[in-house]
Amino acid sequence: MKNKFNHWWLTLIKGIILILLAFFVFRHPIGALVGLAVYIGVSLLITGILLIISSFSLRKVDDNWGWQLAEGIMDVLFGFVLLSNPGITAAIFPFVVGFWMMIYGVMIFAGSFKAKKEGDDNWWLTLFGGILTVLLGYFITANMLAGAVAITIWLGIGLLVAGIVTI
C-alpha cells in the first residue's frame, strides 16, 4: 500500500490532464467534436465486429441472436460513416448520434419484451430506457446546433468532473 502513495503525483498529473482537456473542449468545440467522432467511430467499429462475431456464436443458443447481429452491423456502419471524413462528420455528428440513439433505443425497447418473456421483474426499466433513448435521439436530431452544443458541453463537464475527482 505504501508503494502506491509513492507515486501520488501520477494521479495528480492525470487529473490535471483531464482538466486541461476539458478546457480544450470548451475553447475548441469543433475540434472536440472531430476528435470525439473519430474516437466513437473506432469504438463502434471494434464493438460492432465483436457483436457480429458474438451473435454468430449465439445463434444455436439464443433465438433472438439476430438482434445482436443487427446491432453489430449498425455499429460497424455508423463507425464507417464517422471515420469516412472527420471534418464533415463533426458537422453532422449530432444527427448521426441522434439517429444512432433512436435506432439503439428501438433495440433496447424490443429487448425489454424478451426480458419480460424470460420473467425479468425489471423489464419495464428496459422498456422505459428504450423510450427515453429514442426521445433523446429525436431531440438531438431536431435541433442539430443545440445537439452539438449539448454534446460538447456534456463532454467538457464530464472531463472536468473526472479531473477534479482524480485530483
b/e map of 91-123 (b: 16 or more CB within 10 Å)? ebbbbbbbbbbbbbbeebbebbeebeeeeeeeb
| Residue pLDDT, tens place only, 24-70 | 989 988 888 888 888 888 998 999 999 999 889 888 887 778 888 99
CB atoms within 10 A of CB 161: 13
pTM of the model: 0.61
The DSSP secondary-structure symbol of 120 reads: -
Q: Give the three cell numbers for residue 138.
A: 429525436
Q: Percent helix, strand and coil across the chain, each rounded to 5?
A: 90, 0, 10
Per-residue pLDDT of 83-140, as tens digits, reads 888 777 777 878 878 888 899 899 889 888 888 888 888 889 989 999 999 998 998 8
Distance from C-alpha of 50 to C-alpha of 69, rounded to nearest angstrom: 10
Distance CA 30, CA 32 (A): 5
